[in-house]
Amino acid sequence: MATAANPFFGRFSWRWAGPPGQDTVFDAENRHEIRAIWREVCAGYRLTRRVVPDDGPRAFPHIGQIELGPPTRFTVRLRPGQLADDIADLIPRLAAAYEVDDVRVSQPGRGWALVELIEHRSPTLTIIDGAPPPDPGAPWGQAG
């Protein structure tokens, strides 16, 4: 899969977009990466159609507005005859392609779909009864 990876973090850079409303240096790259992954998924799972002649270029469902999150969401202009349910059928594949835990697809208006990429946060450390957290440098079985 040809995607633009962030060499500094070793992960896909759209995850490092920062808080909403603040532009970062990765915004253009993040939007490009979201579009590139979308085109690959569409081409692989028949959300495209061939333009005449039969060996002509593919017509993809067009990504409209991208909101870099959290959660990251984007609108998709559906091709004639497509429904948001056609995209919803691919939720497990979209989640795997974007490396997120869940994907939600809704239809906010006629001819449009809203795709929301949801990444669950890992649980935080909770201190019970005032006990300090275990020392990461201590050998196994020895706390504190």
Distance of CA 140 to the CA centre of its chain: 37
Identity at 129, one-letter amino acid code: D
pLDDT of residue 27: 80
Closest CA to 14 of 81, 97, 106, 87: 97
Q: How far apart are CA 84 and CA 77, in angstroms?
A: 10
Instruction: Collect all residues with Cβ–Cβ distance below 8 Å to 69 and sequence separation of at least 6.
Output: 17, 20, 117
Tens of pLDDT, residues 10-47: 444 445 455 555 556 678 888 888 999 998 888 887 77
Q: Which residues of the chain have pLDDT under 70?
A: 1-25, 50-57, 121-134, 140-144
Tell me how many degrees the CA angle 102-103-105 measures, rounded to the nearest 5.
150
